[in-house]
Structure 1
Protein backbone atom coordinates (compact mmCIF):
# COMPACT_ATOMS: atom_id res chain seq x y z
CA UNK A 1 0.00 0.00 0.00
CA UNK A 2 2.78 2.43 0.94
CA UNK A 3 4.59 1.99 -2.39
CA UNK A 4 1.42 2.72 -4.41
CA UNK A 5 0.78 5.77 -2.24
CA UNK A 6 4.36 6.96 -2.76
CA UNK A 7 4.02 6.65 -6.55
CA UNK A 8 0.76 8.58 -6.44
CA UNK A 9 2.42 11.24 -4.29
CA UNK A 10 5.37 11.57 -6.67
CA UNK A 11 2.99 11.90 -9.61
CA UNK A 12 1.22 14.71 -7.77
CA UNK A 13 4.60 16.36 -7.05
CA UNK A 14 5.43 16.43 -10.76
CA UNK A 15 1.96 17.64 -11.77
CA UNK A 16 1.97 20.31 -9.08
CA UNK A 17 5.32 21.85 -9.96
CA UNK A 18 4.67 21.61 -13.70
CA UNK A 19 1.34 23.37 -13.24
CA UNK A 20 2.84 26.04 -10.99
CA UNK A 21 5.74 26.67 -13.37
CA UNK A 22 3.34 27.06 -16.29
CA UNK A 23 0.93 29.31 -14.38
CA UNK A 24 3.83 31.42 -13.14
CA UNK A 25 5.08 31.86 -16.69
CA UNK A 26 1.58 32.78 -17.84
CA UNK A 27 1.34 35.29 -14.99
CA UNK A 28 4.58 36.96 -15.99
CA UNK A 29 3.72 37.04 -19.71
CA UNK A 30 0.12 38.14 -19.15
CA UNK A 31 -1.42 35.12 -20.86
CA UNK A 32 -5.24 34.92 -20.88
CA UNK A 33 -4.87 31.16 -20.26
CA UNK A 34 -4.29 32.00 -16.60
CA UNK A 35 -7.98 32.92 -16.29
CA UNK A 36 -9.36 29.69 -17.82
CA UNK A 37 -11.58 27.78 -15.38
CA UNK A 38 -9.51 24.57 -15.56
CA UNK A 39 -6.34 26.54 -14.87
CA UNK A 40 -7.93 27.95 -11.71
CA UNK A 41 -9.43 24.69 -10.39
CA UNK A 42 -7.12 21.83 -11.37
CA UNK A 43 -4.19 22.98 -9.19
CA UNK A 44 -6.41 22.80 -6.10
CA UNK A 45 -7.34 19.20 -6.90
CA UNK A 46 -3.73 18.18 -7.54
CA UNK A 47 -2.40 19.95 -4.45
CA UNK A 48 -5.15 18.46 -2.27
CA UNK A 49 -4.19 14.98 -3.47
CA UNK A 50 -0.53 15.83 -2.87
CA UNK A 51 -1.19 16.93 0.71
CA UNK A 52 -3.50 14.00 1.48
CA UNK A 53 -0.99 11.47 0.17
CA UNK A 54 1.82 13.15 2.15
CA UNK A 55 -0.19 12.95 5.36
CA UNK A 56 -1.12 9.33 4.68
CA UNK A 57 2.50 8.35 3.99
CA UNK A 58 3.72 10.11 7.15
CA UNK A 59 1.03 8.34 9.15
CA UNK A 60 1.85 4.90 7.73
CA UNK A 61 5.62 5.37 8.16
CA UNK A 62 5.27 6.91 11.62
CA UNK A 63 6.96 10.21 10.74
CA UNK A 64 6.05 13.14 12.96
CA UNK A 65 6.61 16.86 12.42
CA UNK A 66 8.63 18.49 15.22
CA UNK A 67 10.08 15.03 15.97
CA UNK A 68 11.62 14.28 12.58
CA UNK A 69 13.60 17.41 11.76
CA UNK A 70 13.59 16.80 8.00
CA UNK A 71 9.78 16.66 7.98
CA UNK A 72 9.61 19.88 9.98
CA UNK A 73 11.95 21.48 7.41
CA UNK A 74 9.69 20.29 4.58
CA UNK A 75 6.64 21.80 6.23
CA UNK A 76 8.46 25.09 6.77
CA UNK A 77 9.55 25.04 3.13
CA UNK A 78 6.00 24.31 2.06
CA UNK A 79 4.69 27.34 3.92
CA UNK A 80 7.34 29.55 2.31
CA UNK A 81 6.55 28.04 -1.11
CA UNK A 82 2.84 28.78 -0.67
CA UNK A 83 3.56 32.39 0.29
CA UNK A 84 5.91 32.99 -2.63
CA UNK A 85 3.57 31.17 -4.99
CA UNK A 86 0.68 33.39 -3.96
CA UNK A 87 2.77 36.47 -4.69
CA UNK A 88 3.91 35.04 -8.02
CA UNK A 89 0.36 34.47 -9.24
CA UNK A 90 -1.23 37.67 -7.91
CA UNK A 91 -2.10 39.74 -10.96
CA UNK A 92 -2.12 43.03 -9.04
CA UNK A 93 1.58 42.75 -8.16
CA UNK A 94 4.21 44.31 -10.44
CA UNK A 95 5.63 41.94 -13.06
CA UNK A 96 9.18 42.08 -11.62
CA UNK A 97 7.88 41.20 -8.17
CA UNK A 98 5.87 38.28 -9.58
CA UNK A 99 8.90 37.02 -11.51
CA UNK A 100 11.12 37.21 -8.43
CA UNK A 101 8.55 35.43 -6.27
CA UNK A 102 8.10 32.78 -8.98
CA UNK A 103 11.85 32.10 -9.14
CA UNK A 104 12.00 32.01 -5.34
CA UNK A 105 9.09 29.59 -5.14
CA UNK A 106 10.76 27.28 -7.68
CA UNK A 107 13.99 27.38 -5.63
CA UNK A 108 12.07 26.56 -2.44
CA UNK A 109 10.32 23.69 -4.24
CA UNK A 110 13.75 22.35 -5.19
CA UNK A 111 14.74 22.54 -1.53
CA UNK A 112 11.62 20.63 -0.47
CA UNK A 113 12.39 17.88 -2.99
CA UNK A 114 16.01 17.73 -1.77
CA UNK A 115 14.89 17.39 1.84
CA UNK A 116 12.49 14.62 0.85
CA UNK A 117 15.20 12.75 -1.04
CA UNK A 118 17.94 13.11 1.57
CA UNK A 119 15.76 13.03 4.72
CA UNK A 120 18.01 15.86 5.89
CA UNK A 121 16.95 19.47 6.60
CA UNK A 122 20.07 20.69 4.79
CA UNK A 123 18.60 19.46 1.51
CA UNK A 124 21.09 19.48 -1.38
CA UNK A 125 23.87 20.61 0.98
CA UNK A 126 23.66 17.25 2.73
CA UNK A 127 25.08 15.64 -0.41
CA UNK A 128 28.34 17.64 -0.21
Structure 2
Protein backbone atom coordinates (compact mmCIF):
# COMPACT_ATOMS: atom_id res chain seq x y z
CA UNK A 1 0.00 0.00 0.00
CA UNK A 2 2.81 2.39 0.91
CA UNK A 3 4.63 1.89 -2.40
CA UNK A 4 1.45 2.51 -4.38
CA UNK A 5 0.74 5.68 -2.40
CA UNK A 6 4.29 7.00 -2.93
CA UNK A 7 4.05 6.33 -6.67
CA UNK A 8 0.65 8.03 -6.76
CA UNK A 9 1.98 11.05 -4.86
CA UNK A 10 5.01 11.42 -7.15
CA UNK A 11 2.84 10.99 -10.26
CA UNK A 12 0.39 13.64 -9.04
CA UNK A 13 3.27 15.99 -8.21
CA UNK A 14 4.73 15.53 -11.70
CA UNK A 15 1.35 15.97 -13.39
CA UNK A 16 0.68 19.09 -11.35
CA UNK A 17 4.08 20.50 -12.35
CA UNK A 18 3.50 19.64 -16.01
CA UNK A 19 0.14 21.38 -15.79
CA UNK A 20 1.90 24.44 -14.34
CA UNK A 21 4.50 24.42 -17.14
CA UNK A 22 1.80 24.18 -19.82
CA UNK A 23 -0.19 27.04 -18.30
CA UNK A 24 2.98 29.13 -17.94
CA UNK A 25 3.82 28.47 -21.60
CA UNK A 26 0.36 29.67 -22.57
CA UNK A 27 1.00 32.80 -20.53
CA UNK A 28 4.32 33.46 -22.29
CA UNK A 29 2.77 32.96 -25.70
CA UNK A 30 -0.18 35.22 -24.80
CA UNK A 31 -2.58 32.38 -25.57
CA UNK A 32 -6.20 32.75 -24.55
CA UNK A 33 -5.88 29.24 -23.10
CA UNK A 34 -4.16 30.68 -20.01
CA UNK A 35 -7.62 31.95 -19.00
CA UNK A 36 -9.20 28.51 -19.60
CA UNK A 37 -11.18 27.59 -16.48
CA UNK A 38 -11.04 23.85 -17.28
CA UNK A 39 -7.21 23.88 -17.31
CA UNK A 40 -7.15 25.73 -13.99
CA UNK A 41 -9.64 23.32 -12.40
CA UNK A 42 -7.63 20.29 -13.61
CA UNK A 43 -4.48 21.82 -12.12
CA UNK A 44 -6.25 22.49 -8.83
CA UNK A 45 -7.69 18.96 -8.67
CA UNK A 46 -4.24 17.44 -9.28
CA UNK A 47 -2.79 19.64 -6.54
CA UNK A 48 -5.53 18.81 -4.04
CA UNK A 49 -5.12 15.06 -4.57
CA UNK A 50 -1.34 15.45 -4.33
CA UNK A 51 -1.80 17.18 -0.95
CA UNK A 52 -4.21 14.46 0.21
CA UNK A 53 -1.68 11.79 -0.73
CA UNK A 54 1.04 13.78 1.06
CA UNK A 55 -1.06 13.95 4.22
CA UNK A 56 -1.78 10.24 4.03
CA UNK A 57 1.93 9.50 3.63
CA UNK A 58 2.70 11.66 6.68
CA UNK A 59 0.26 9.61 8.73
CA UNK A 60 1.62 6.31 7.40
CA UNK A 61 5.23 7.35 8.11
CA UNK A 62 4.32 8.97 11.43
CA UNK A 63 6.29 12.04 10.34
CA UNK A 64 4.80 15.53 10.29
CA UNK A 65 5.68 19.12 9.41
CA UNK A 66 6.98 21.14 12.37
CA UNK A 67 8.18 17.85 13.89
CA UNK A 68 10.39 16.56 11.08
CA UNK A 69 12.67 19.12 9.42
CA UNK A 70 12.44 17.79 5.89
CA UNK A 71 8.63 17.94 5.94
CA UNK A 72 8.70 21.44 7.40
CA UNK A 73 10.95 22.52 4.53
CA UNK A 74 8.76 20.79 1.98
CA UNK A 75 5.59 22.42 3.30
CA UNK A 76 7.21 25.84 3.59
CA UNK A 77 8.57 25.64 0.06
CA UNK A 78 5.22 24.41 -1.24
CA UNK A 79 3.56 27.52 0.18
CA UNK A 80 6.22 29.71 -1.50
CA UNK A 81 5.73 27.69 -4.73
CA UNK A 82 1.96 28.23 -4.63
CA UNK A 83 2.43 31.96 -4.04
CA UNK A 84 4.96 32.27 -6.87
CA UNK A 85 2.66 30.43 -9.30
CA UNK A 86 -0.15 32.84 -8.44
CA UNK A 87 2.19 35.76 -9.08
CA UNK A 88 3.34 34.28 -12.36
CA UNK A 89 -0.17 34.28 -13.75
CA UNK A 90 -0.72 37.98 -13.08
CA UNK A 91 -1.26 39.36 -16.56
CA UNK A 92 0.32 42.71 -15.70
CA UNK A 93 3.83 41.31 -15.19
CA UNK A 94 6.55 42.32 -17.62
CA UNK A 95 8.06 39.50 -19.65
CA UNK A 96 11.50 39.75 -17.98
CA UNK A 97 9.98 39.44 -14.50
CA UNK A 98 7.75 36.60 -15.69
CA UNK A 99 10.79 34.68 -17.01
CA UNK A 100 12.71 35.21 -13.76
CA UNK A 101 9.71 34.13 -11.70
CA UNK A 102 9.27 31.05 -13.88
CA UNK A 103 12.91 30.04 -13.31
CA UNK A 104 12.61 30.60 -9.56
CA UNK A 105 9.33 28.66 -9.40
CA UNK A 106 10.84 25.70 -11.27
CA UNK A 107 13.83 25.80 -8.92
CA UNK A 108 11.52 25.73 -5.92
CA UNK A 109 9.67 22.73 -7.33
CA UNK A 110 12.93 20.87 -7.98
CA UNK A 111 14.07 21.62 -4.43
CA UNK A 112 10.78 20.28 -3.03
CA UNK A 113 11.16 17.15 -5.16
CA UNK A 114 14.78 16.65 -4.03
CA UNK A 115 13.87 17.06 -0.35
CA UNK A 116 11.02 14.57 -0.75
CA UNK A 117 13.26 12.05 -2.44
CA UNK A 118 16.03 12.30 0.16
CA UNK A 119 13.84 12.81 3.26
CA UNK A 120 16.53 15.27 4.34
CA UNK A 121 16.26 19.03 4.77
CA UNK A 122 18.43 20.90 2.27
CA UNK A 123 18.03 24.50 3.29
CA UNK A 124 17.95 24.40 7.08
CA UNK A 125 19.46 20.96 7.70
| Fold shared by both chains (TM-score > 0.5) | yes
Report Cα offsets for 1:33-77 as digits up to 9, x if no partner: 212232121001000000000000101110111111011010111
Q: Which residue of 1 aligns with 2:74?
A: 74
Q: Which residue of 1 aligns with 2:7?
A: 7
Instruction: Give the superposed CA RMSD.
Output: 1.5
Q: Which residue of 2 aligns with 1:85?
A: 85
1:26 counterpart SS class: helix
- Measured in 1, the distance between the counterparts of 2:37 and 2:77 equals 28
Report Cα offsets for 1:89-121 as digits up to 9, x if no partner: 111222222222111110000000010111111
Q: Which residue of 2 aligns with 1:51?
A: 51
- Segments of structure 2 that go 5 or more residues without pairing to the other structure are none
TM-score by length of 2: 0.92
- Measured in 2, the distance between the counterparts of 1:36 and 1:64 equals 35
Larger RCO, structures 1/2 (Cα 8 Å, 6+ apart): 2
- Measured in 2, the distance between the counterparts of 1:121 and 1:20 equals 24
TM-score by length of 1: 0.90
1:13 counterpart SS class: helix
Q: Which residue of 2 aligns with 1:112?
A: 112
1:88 touches 1:100 (CA, 8 Å); kept in 2?
no
1:85 touches 1:105 (CA, 8 Å); kept in 2?
yes
